[in-house]
Structure 1
Amino acid sequence: MQTAERLRFSAEDYLAWEATQAAKHEFVAGEVFAMVGARQDHVVVAGNIFAALKQRLRGTPCRPYVADLKLKVEAADAFFYPDVMVSCHPGDLGNQHYISNPSLIVEVLSDSTADYDRGGKFVAYRKLDSLKEYLIVDIEARRVECFRRTADNDWLLHDYVGEADCELISLGVSLPMAEIFEDIEAA
């Protein structure tokens, strides 16, 4: 992840500044990071997951969002752009600029962000009391790592590969792996 000219902001200043920018930027503890464009496979997989969730959550209080909506993690003094997220919290419906209470966050790995998605970003995401599941999607390995919060506030890994369905317990839905990786050529 590249720092955007080493700019430093308060969260409020970041929101005002970013609203004037053509490109997206994430914000972590005063620093602003430019987002790079995604590869086609990345966009297709994120779109597949969003579409599957949109269809399965229709008629529920839960709403899926795709990469252009910010996620505020107040406890980490950060704003991120997850690939997909789902909020079932009524307080998120009224905010047009970001959500703060996701139940599910999905990140599709890319070479430049894989370590951060598994490390620092997941550390920040775990500070969200509302977060129940965090999916890391590895296109190359055709694998979905589902980290699920336990009653003891630990995170348990459920690894999905092959033909298994990815179970999203927090939402009461499952996503077939074939649907997640639809239209992706075998490596």
Structure 2
Amino acid sequence: MHTPQENPPHLTPEEYFLWQEKQLEKHELINGQTYAMSGGSVNHSRIAVRLTRMIDTHLDGSHCITGNSDLRINILGTNNYTYPDVSVTCDERDQTTSQYITYPCLIIEVLSTSTEAYDRGNKFRLYRQNPLLIDYLLVSSTHIAIDLYHKNEAGDWLIFNYQGGDRIKLQSIDLSFPIEQIYRGLNLLENEQI
């Protein structure tokens, strides 16, 4: 989970962009307050890299943009900015921005003990403000388990729980893959505390 700054500055987006450039760690901006992003485990990093690489390769040659944890998302209609682990936008409006994207169709968060409640709750509530978001993927970093929140054509969010032997289907980018592809070679026996 992100950690509030001691005596956090109340910033406008413009002030936030300038301030963030001078910081050693990344910060989200929520309702004018900055929140430091916590670091991740080896598994967290490896899973995020695999997903980013697989998705970027799949979308190669398209007009879509695949982002890693350095790409901010502006929550539509707000001055809030977050850093998901992986994101994809195929919207033309995001082709000309340099500081962030606003219209992702896919957002992925790799879970850890300290971020899971935030990623499933308040962060997902923020992300759902975007009408173009179709898939929100939550990936465990401690065991083989992935939850997919998928918005159907009626606008309802459905949840799909995947485990070993399952195949993940991301309709937002027309990609399907076996769950084991993400977890191969990882040490999943440790209950990592982050």
**Do Structure 1 and Structure 2 share a fold, with TM-score over 0.5?**
yes
Contact 2:151 2:157 in 1 (8 A): yes
CA distances 1:87-113 after superposition (whole Å, capped 9, x unpaired)? 111221221211111010000001111
Residue 3 of structure 1: aligned partner? 4
The one-letter code matched in structure 1 to 2:3 is Q
SS of aligned partner of 1:52: helix
Residue 192 of structure 2: aligned partner? none
- The worse-fitting range, judged by mean Cα deviation, of 120-129 and 30-39 is 30-39
- The worse-fitting range, judged by mean Cα deviation, of 69-78 and 19-28 is 69-78
Residue 121 of structure 1: aligned partner? 123
Contact 1:76 1:124 in 2 (8 A): no
CA distance in 2, matches of 1:80, 1:9: 14
Change over 3 Å in CA distance of 1:113–1:186 after alignment to 2: closer
Q: Please list every run of 5 or more consecutive structure 1 residues that lacks an aligned counterpart in the other structure.
A: none
Residue 95 of structure 1: aligned partner? 97
Q: How far 1:143 sits from its partner (Å)?
A: 0.8
SS of aligned partner of 2:88: strand
CA distance in 2, matches of 1:114, 1:54: 25
Q: How far 1:10 sits from its partner (Å)?
A: 1.8
Residue 67 of structure 2: aligned partner? 65
Matched residue count? 187
Q: Percent identity?
A: 32
CA distances 1:50-86 after superposition (whole Å, capped 9, x unpaired)? 1111111112222211001111103343100100001
Residue 18 of structure 1: aligned partner? 20
RMSD of aligned alpha carbons: 1.3
CA distance in 1, matches of 2:177, 2:57: 11
Residue 175 of structure 2: aligned partner? 173
With normalisation by structure 2, the TM-score equals 0.91
